[in-house]
Structure 1
Amino acid sequence: MRWHAQPGQKITVDGVGLEVACYGPPPGKAPTLVMLHEGLGCVALWRDVPQQLSEATGLGVFVYSRRGYGASEAGNAPYATDYMTREAEDVLCKVLNAAGLGDVILLGHSDGASIACIYAGSVSDMRVRGLILIAPHFFVEPAGLAAIRQAGDDFRSGDLRAKLARYHDHVDDVFYGWHDVWTSPAFGNWNVADAIDHLRIPVLAIQGRSDPYGTLAQIDEIEARIYSPLETLVLEGCGHAPHLEHRGATAQAITEFCARLIRLEQATIALA
């Protein structure tokens, strides 16, 4: 894989071509921020955030579209209720290996934040040095389900399908894979909060107070269960995408968190 941000590059994981893009210094020159997208996201829907974060932090940034998303090859819809756990435990390590990454900081948004937390809490991978969780979810909330059902109405009879089709080659699989599993009766008891118990790396959690898909109960769950260092940022007047809605405050928190983490790692190495 060549380290560049030009579109059209793919890596192969389990025989499936996954769309990727890379920014800033390559592995070996600096740690890498690995960005894991939301339930309807992909490489392109991060917009210019990866480039901006690379410039602000001085780190490499690696983004990819999960199977079936964006320009990645066809997915595995309909999703099983444990699709985020499967992505974390069966796929993410292979992605990091295929990209040739060394030390990484996982940065996940929504579904991607849940996947990142599950990975850090259940897979022994010493490359993972820190965790940034944007609008994470660990359990189902009624308000979030209502927002997902509303998105279903918008997709069927509004303009949401047309908007998403600009970014996803398999737009119906993407949407209904996400929507149908979340709104299924079997998903009502979904809970992955036990992953928090096993975290042993610094964590930054960012949440919009007006997020329709999750309340501050998700952040409270982290605070109640975590044993490792935790920083939180709650943004007023902010919905589900702090990195797009409150770019400055979100980028500043991420940049400062990464800088502190790297200083701590360098100090530890010096003492050793």
Structure 2
Amino acid sequence: MIAPDGVLEVAGTRLEARFMDGPADRPVLVLLHEGLGSVSQWRDFPDLLATASGCAVLAYSRAGYGASAPVSLPRPLSYMHDEAGDVLPHIISQLQGRDHVLVGHSDGASIAAIYAGSKPHAGLKGLVLMAPHVFVEDISIAGIRTARDAWETTNLRDRLKRHHGDNVDTAFLGWNDSWLNPGFRDWDITGFLPLITAPVLAVQGRDDDYGTLAQLDAIEQSCGAPVTKLVLDDCGHAPQKDQTAAVLDAICSFVTEL
């Protein structure tokens, strides 16, 4: 089993990780971070989630993020597909057969959807998709251009460096350059949705500046499993930060029903 704090080894790559164990009869909640995220950028959410749900919680930083091993740029435009197909299965295998629920935010939610919709997976009991992207919208590109302006004109790099250290340029540019690449406008993972067989909790804020509620509508209409939608007022692109209590309550209820 995974050590409480330390690293995961995936095909010779060292990934930063935090693991809080819990009862074996409850699923492990696996946190998949956003495009600029890391273990530390979940803040106290993993601890709050473990306490509220009574479940084990695993958070890790993908390669090129946080204190994980570096990667080379440019990232391929298939980076979320690659993560879902080549890395996440190795992460799940280290749970040693325990049931699990994927809790993804933004890019992490997309990775979870690709993984779940690629083929049936033993032990996968549910998906929590927070601010998910299943296709590219104009608002998504506008938000990412705004982030690029902040990177170039404000102290955003310094603020991100506190979480990513020497990976800071790779973390930001790998994500930002990919989304702003003209070829990325055709990125669309709705074809994976009909093959998802695990129940889904889809969460989005009404004030999300990276996507509209059309994302949740597409998931609800196309997903092959039951979908529970939660739309939150006074909430932007990070529901777990902007409406922590509501998100914790929703996840706990979802997991209990599973």
TM-score range, shorter chain: over 0.9
Q: Does 1:51 align with 2:47?
A: yes
- DSSP-derived class of the 1:166 partner: helix
Q: Does 1:105 align with 2:105?
A: no
Q: Is the 1:24–1:55 Cα contact (8 Å) retained in structure 2?
A: no
- DSSP-derived class of the 1:108 partner: strand
Counterpart of 2:71, as a letter, is: G
Q: Does 1:158 align with 2:154?
A: yes
Q: Is the 2:136–2:186 Cα contact (8 Å) retained in structure 1?
A: yes
The 10-residue stretch of structure 1 (116-125 or 55-64) with the greater mean CA deviation from structure 2: 116-125
Structure 1 moving runs of 4+ over 6 Å: none
**Residue equivalent to 2:91:** 95
Q: Does 1:149 align with 2:145?
A: yes
Q: Does 1:194 align with 2:186?
A: no
- DSSP-derived class of the 2:164 partner: coil
**Residue equivalent to 1:139:** 135
Cα distance in 2, alignment partners of residues 63 and 120 from structure 1: 18
Deviations 1:70-103 (A, max 9, x none): 0001124311111101100111001122353511
**Residue equivalent to 2:76:** 80
Deviations 1:20-56 (A, max 9, x none): 0011416x35320000000000000000101111111
Q: Is the 1:108–1:134 Cα contact (8 Å) retained in structure 2?
A: yes
Q: Is the 1:88–1:118 Cα contact (8 Å) retained in structure 2?
A: yes
Counterpart of 1:59, as a letter, is: C
Q: Say which of 43, 50, 64 aligns to 1:68.
A: 64
Cα distance in 1, alignment partners of residues 221 and 12 from structure 2: 40
Counterpart of 1:60, as a letter, is: A
**Residue equivalent to 1:266:** none
Q: Does 1:223 align with 2:224?
A: no
Q: Is the 2:2–2:8 Cα contact (8 Å) retained in structure 1?
A: no
**Residue equivalent to 1:185:** 182
Q: Does 1:125 align with 2:121?
A: yes
Counterpart of 2:235, as a letter, is: C
Cα distance in 2, alignment partners of residues 255 and 141 from structure 1: 30
Q: Is the 1:24–1:58 Cα contact (8 Å) retained in structure 2?
A: no
Counterpart of 1:211, as a letter, is: D
Gaps spanning 5+ residues in structure 2: where?
Answer: none
Cα distance in 1, alignment partners of residues 41 and 79 from structure 2: 21
Q: Is the 1:24–1:51 Cα contact (8 Å) retained in structure 2?
A: no
Query: What is the RMSD computed on CA atoms of the aligned residues?
Result: 1.3
Cα distance in 1, alignment partners of residues 28 and 193 from structure 2: 22
Counterpart of 1:155, as a letter, is: W
Cα distance in 2, alignment partners of residues 177 and 96 from structure 1: 24
TM-score by length of 1: 0.91
TM-score by length of 2: 0.96
Question: Following TM superposition, by how much is the alpha carbon of 1:60 offset from its aligned partner in structure 2, in angstroms?
Answer: 0.3
Question: Following TM superposition, by how much is the alpha carbon of 1:153 offset from its aligned partner in structure 2, in angstroms?
Answer: 0.9
Q: How many residues align?
A: 257
